[in-house]
């Protein structure tokens, strides 16, 4: 007679085995962390854990290699590293997971090899505003505590496919995971650009109600905008002609009525992008071209 628990255990054991093929250990003090191996010589890990110097990594075959920084994405807390020489890597298949799916977080260290922790996807979300500025386009959360040293390592689904990378810390009592497809897309950008800077305009703002005349002059009759209470000299907003007292009502063609929406749009466009900003100055609606700065 079939034993359901043994069947689940066997499936999870196979998932861990597959995921172990692209789980890498990163040696650092005071404890080792982890990384995701993709291609034949690239690693993704959590940027906040890695310095600018070269690091020694423990590969799935038990050998060590040196890896150097290629670039960083501070918004998504990602660092892209390059191995000194190419290796034979397990295939990396990115999958999307949903609420209720079982997932396994993995780590690798020199003491125990691969460690695994089982959890469930507790939430899937979009446009998560971050304390340090910027926003995540997509993320998911799990219901289990993270293993010490697993930050930077992969989360796999029940088939052992790459579902996400553990870069962020806990939020609202759950682990925040960067989805695999988003992580690999950002890795491709890092490969091309080196470092992805956090976009910035050089402003401070607060939500204010728009006057009746301004509302009527806007096609969507929105109720609020962002009042600029500080504009940094020489930064993006200042160069575009915006001043303290102006009210931003649209950015890159999208209505703006909250700081969170502005941060999200800035993150989507990225530093260096040329966009149109619509704002109220002296009671009149104006438009200007603005080049998004960086911080």
Q: Which of 143, 166, 194 is the last residue of a domain?
A: 194
Cis preceding linkage at 30, omega within 30: yes
Together in a domain, 184 and 267: no
- 64-73 and 33-38: which strand pairing? unpaired
Same domain, 68 and 213: no
Residues 6+ apart with CB under 8 A from 2: none
Same domain, 114 and 66: yes
Can you give the pLDDT at residue 272? 86
CA distances (Å), origin 122, targets 125, 140, 200 = 10, 8, 32
Q: pLDDT 10s digit of each residue in the chain, 295 long? A: 579 999 999 999 999 999 999 999 999 988 899 999 999 999 999 998 999 999 999 999 999 999 999 999 888 889 999 999 999 888 888 999 999 999 999 999 988 899 999 999 999 987 676 655 556 778 899 988 888 899 999 999 999 999 999 987 655 556 789 999 999 988 998 888 787 777 889 999 999 999 988 988 887 778 899 999 999 999 999 999 999 999 999 999 999 988 878 877 887 777 888 999 999 999 999 999 999 988 7
Are residues 153 and 210 located together in one domain of the fold? no
- What is the C-alpha to C-alpha distance for residues 207 and 257, in angstroms, rounded to an integer? 7
The pTM (predicted TM-score) of the whole model is 0.74
Q: What is the pLDDT of residue 176?
A: 82
- Domain range for 271 is 199-294
Number of domains in the chain: 2
| Pair 64, 175 in one domain | yes
Residue 177 in contact with residue 146, Cβ under 8 Å? no
Please tell me whether residues 156 and 237 are part of one structural domain: no
* 172 and 221, same domain (yes or no): no
> Does 169 share its domain with 223?
no
**CATH number of the domain that residue 49 is part of:** 2.40.10.120
> According to the model, what pLDDT value does residue 173 have?
54
Residues 180 and 35 in one domain: yes
Encoding tokens for residue 255?
């209505």
User: Do 152 and 276 reside in the same domain of the chain?
Assistant: no
194, 210, 230 - which closes a domain: 194
Query: How far is residue 86's CA from residue 243's CA, in Å, rounded to a whole number?
Result: 52
Q: Are residues 208 and 189 in the same domain?
A: no
Residue 289 CA to residue 286 CA, distance in Å, equals 11
In this structure, are 164 and 250 located in the same domain?
A: no
């Amino acid at each position: 007679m079939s034993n359901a628990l043994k069947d689940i255990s066997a499936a999870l054991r196979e998932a861990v085995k597959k995921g172990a093929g692209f789980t890498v250990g990163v040696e650092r003090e005071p404890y080792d962390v982890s990384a995701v191996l993709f291609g034949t010589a690239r690693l993704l890990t959590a940027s906040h854990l890695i310095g600018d110097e070269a690091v020694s990594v423990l590969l799935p075959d038990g050998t060590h290699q040196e890896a150097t920084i290629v670039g960083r994405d501070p918004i998504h807390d990602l660092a892209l590293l390059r191995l000194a020489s190419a290796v034979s890597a397990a295939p990396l298949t990115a999958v999307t997971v949903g609420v209720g799916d079982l997932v396994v977080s993995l780590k690798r260290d020199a003491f125990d090899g691969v460690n695994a922790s089982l959890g469930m996807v507790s939430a899937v979300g979009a446009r998560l505003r971050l304390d340090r500025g910027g926003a995540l386009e997509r993320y998911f959360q799990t219901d289990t505590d993270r293993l010490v040293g697993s930050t930077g390592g992969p989360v796999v689904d029940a088939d052992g496919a790459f579902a996400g990378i553990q870069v962020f810390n806990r939020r609202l009592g759950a682990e925040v995971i960067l989805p695999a497809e988003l992580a690999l897309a950002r890795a491709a950008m890092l490969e091309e650009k080196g470092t992805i800077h956090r976009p910035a305009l050089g402003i401070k703002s607060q939500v204010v109600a728009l006057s009746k005349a301004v509302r009527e002059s806007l096609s969507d009759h929105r109720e609020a905008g962002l009042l600029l209470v500080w504009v940094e000299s020489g930064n993006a907003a200042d160069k575009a002609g915006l001043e303290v007292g102006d009210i931003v009502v649209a950015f890159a063609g999208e209505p703006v009525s909250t700081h969170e929406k502005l941060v999200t749009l800035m993150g989507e466009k990225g530093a260096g992008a040329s966009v149109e900003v619509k704002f109220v100055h002296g009671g009149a609606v104006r438009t200007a071209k603005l080049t998004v700065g960086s911080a």
